[in-house]
Amino acid sequence: MNVISLSPLDLSMAAILVLVLAFISLILKLDLASRIVIAAVRTVVQLVLIGLVLKALFAQVNLLYVAALSIFMLLVAGREVMARQQRRFGGLWGYGLGTLSMFISSFTLTIYALIVVVSTDPWYTPQYAIPLLGMMLGNTMTGVSLALDKLTTTAWQQRAVIEARLILGQDWRTAIGDITRDSVRIGMIPMINAMAAAGIVSLPGMMTGQILSGTEPLEAVKYQILIMFLITAGTGFSAIIATWIGARRLFDDRQRLRLERLS
Amino acid sequence: MTILRLQEFQVFALKPFNLEVNNEIVFLTGASGAGKSLLLRAIADLIMHNGEAYLDEKKCSDINPVQWRKWVGFLPAESAWWRDKVGDHFSAEDHPYLALLNLPADCLQWDVARCSTGEKQRLAIVRLLAQQPKVLLLDEPTASLDPVSVELVESLVIDYANKFNVPVIWVSHDASQIKRLSQREFKIKENEICEVMA
């Protein structure tokens, strides 16, 4: 089965649609025209770059290169998590908290999937490792940032409640327990919804891509199921880790609520 | 007999000071923003502070903070509630203090959202005393209450303090209340805590 190769001309036919959209939003005074164009250009540049990187990476299977790209992806995801926080932890914690929890869950689960589930040889075969990790990071990023944002903004709003509970002799874990539970839940719900709606409401992107490139549909479905399970577990674990460390960080060793640690 | 002792205690912009409170009601006064509430919060070890607080010569920093806060009963100026029903904030079913503050027995079934400020304040006082604190730190406990409730709260606190030999630090702006109840008075002025001589 051959993939129909897209020529630059084919892509420019699609680009015309985006330009038309930008033009219409100009007429409608949506104040989005330049943002649409810039975002579209970024898509092209970033994807072409990653395409070149992947091409080079696939040409020679080297653990060092795979690791380097993985770390780079992690750091960018960590930055993204930080940027999405309304109230983030000050100092290194602002960046480190989300990055660390994504590192723990995404990397562990991706390596698990590569070795135990897919059994590629070698386990770091970039053609499998990089897309898997990319999808893990992309989704855990959303989960972690939702969970952390919920944790910090709610703690900020409910200072009086948390302190009232401390005053009545509850430990920090209990005093902030309702908030941590809500935060983890908020972080996990998008993936649970995605699992429940998969295939009915939307055809997941990866599966669509595989089918377009000629993979037999049931084979694509199996990979999609694997990915969904991995992502759900990864998102859940990292939301739990991030929320737990974050909640602990909101209190000091005397179990005082230290909201000034948020900026 | 419980003794609360503060040694070189320092919080916020206030100058360090020493204070010993036995079984007595000590009033703390001063303009708004002088640091009265911060001082109480620091004694309850809710915020960072310097110096040391002792309860019967047990050092605050040696005691588990959860235990310390159970001993040191701090009543903030505004009560906070986190469940829908009043009763979910109380551990036991039966609270003798409810009746003493004119609260009906079925008030534990009430929705917190439907309680008035004064009702919440009285409920918060019962909730605090139910923990059997060894010290009371009261931040304007009667500011939102009607005259009848003020009297009830005052006598409840006095009875509790006498029965269990509890030191009380009471923040108030009400001159007649201070005159009525105060055994000693301290005033925060220009960041200094000074005893007011009668």
List chain B domain ranges.
Answer: 4-196
Report cis status (omega within 30 of 0) of the bond before A122: yes
State which H helix or E strand residue B138 sits in. strand B135-139
Average pLDDT over residues A41-61: 92
| Contact assignment for A163 to B78 by CB distance below 8 Å | no
B12 to chain A, any CB pair closer than 8 A? The answer is: no
> Do B151 and B6 touch, CB atoms closer than 8 A?
no
Separation between Cα atoms, residue A88 and residue B3, nearest integer Å: 42
- Cβ contact B60:B68 at 8 Å: yes
Are residues A107 and A2 part of one domain?
A: no
Are residues A144 and A53 both part of a single domain?
Answer: no
Percent of chain B with pLDDT over 90: 90
Rounded average pLDDT over A232-245: 96
Instruction: Find which of A158, A163, A167 to mutate to test the B interface (most B CBs within 10 Å of its CB).
Output: A167
User: Does A242 lie in the same domain as A186?
Assistant: yes
Count how many domains chain A has: 2
Give the 3-state secondary structure of residue A43.
helix
Picking from A222, A91, A73, the residue whose alpha carbon sits closest to that of residue A141 is A73
3-state secondary structure (DSSP) of residue B4: strand
Q: Does residue B78 sit at the A interface (CB-CB below 8 Å)?
A: yes
Q: Are residues A14 and A115 in the same domain?
A: no
**Shared domain check, A80 and A47:** no
Assign domain B4-196 to its CATH superfamily.
Answer: P-loop containing nucleotide triphosphate hydrolases (3.40.50.300)
Q: Work out the pLDDT band at A2, boundaries 50, 70, 90.
A: low
Residue numbers in A near B78 (CB within 8 A):
160
Contacts of A158 in chain B (CB under 8 A): 82
| pLDDT tens readout for residues A123-171 | 999 999 999 999 999 999 999 999 999 999 999 999 999 999 999 999 9
Residue ending a domain, among A42, A59, A76, is A59
Q: Are A46 and A118 in contact (CB under 8 A)?
A: no
Question: Could you report the predicted ipTM of this complex, rounded to two decimals?
Answer: 0.94
d(CA B68, CA A155): 23
In this prediction, residues B111-132 reach a mean pLDDT of 95
> How far, in Å, CA of A134 to CA of A113, rounded?
13
Q: What is the mean pLDDT of residues A18-45?
A: 93
* Average pLDDT over every residue of A93-115: 95
Using a CB–CB cutoff of 8 Å, tell me whether B45 touches chain A.
yes
B42 CA: distance to closest CA in chain A (Å) = 10
Find the length of chain B. Answer: 198
User: Does the pLDDT at position B181 exceed 60?
Assistant: yes
Predicted local confidence at residue B105, as pLDDT:
85
The last residue of one of the domains, among A10, A44, A59, is A59
**A259 reaches B (C-beta below 8 A):** no
The reply to whether A165 and A190 lie within a common domain is yes
B96: pLDDT strictly greater than 90: no
Section A10-22 average pLDDT: 94
User: What's the average model confidence in pLDDT over A10-26?
Assistant: 94
A138, A13: one domain? no
- Which pLDDT score is estimated for A203? 79
Among B47, B61, B80, the residue with its CB nearest the CB of A160 is B80
Residue of B66, B120, B121, B129 for testing the chain A interface, max A β-carbons within 10 Å: B66
**B67 and A163 in contact by Cβ < 8 A?**
no
Task: State whether A166 and B67 contact (CB < 8 Å).
Answer: no
Distance, CA of A220 to CA of A225 (rounded, Å):
9
How many Cα atoms sit within 13 Å of B166 on the Cβ side?
Answer: 24
The predicted-structure confidence for A56-100, as pLDDT tens digits, reads as follows 999 989 999 999 999 999 999 999 999 888 899 998 999 999 999
Q: How far is the first Cα of chain A from the last one, in angstroms, to the nearest whole number? A: 55
In this structure, are residues A221 and A89 in contact, taking their beta carbons and an 8 Å threshold? no
Q: Which residue has the higher pLDDT, A214 or A247?
A: A247
With contacts defined as CB-CB under 8 Å, which chain B residues touch A256?
45-48, 65
> Containing domain of residue A73, as a range?
61-261
**A68 and A139 share a domain?**
yes
Taking a contact as any Cβ pair under 8 Å apart, which residues of chain B between 105 and 164 contact chain A?
127-128, 131
The predicted model gives B33-37 an average pLDDT of: 93
Rounded CA gap, B71 and B67, in Å? Answer: 6
Instruction: Count A/B contacts: CB-CB distance under 8 Å.
Output: 49
- Select from A119, A110, A118, A101 the least CA-distant residue to A66: A110
* Number of neighbouring beta carbons within 10 Å of residue A131: 16
Show the tokens assigned to A17. 């649609």
Q: Which of B47, B48, B131 sits opposite A169 (nearest CB)?
A: B131
**What mean pLDDT, rounded, does chain A reach?**
93
Q: Kindly report, residue by residue over A204-222, the tens digit of the pLDDT.
A: 888 888 888 888 999 999 9
Q: Is residue B81 less than 8 Å (CB to CB) from chain A? A: yes
Q: Specify whether the CB–CB gap between B73 and B96 falls below 8 A.
A: no
Please name the residues in contact with B141: beta carbons below 8 A apart, sequence gap of 6 or more.
B75, B121, B125, B153, B157, B170
State how far the Cα of A38 lies from the Cα of A151, in Å rounded to an integer: 33
pLDDT over threshold 80, residue B179? yes
Interface contact flag, B66 A257, Cβ < 8 Å: no
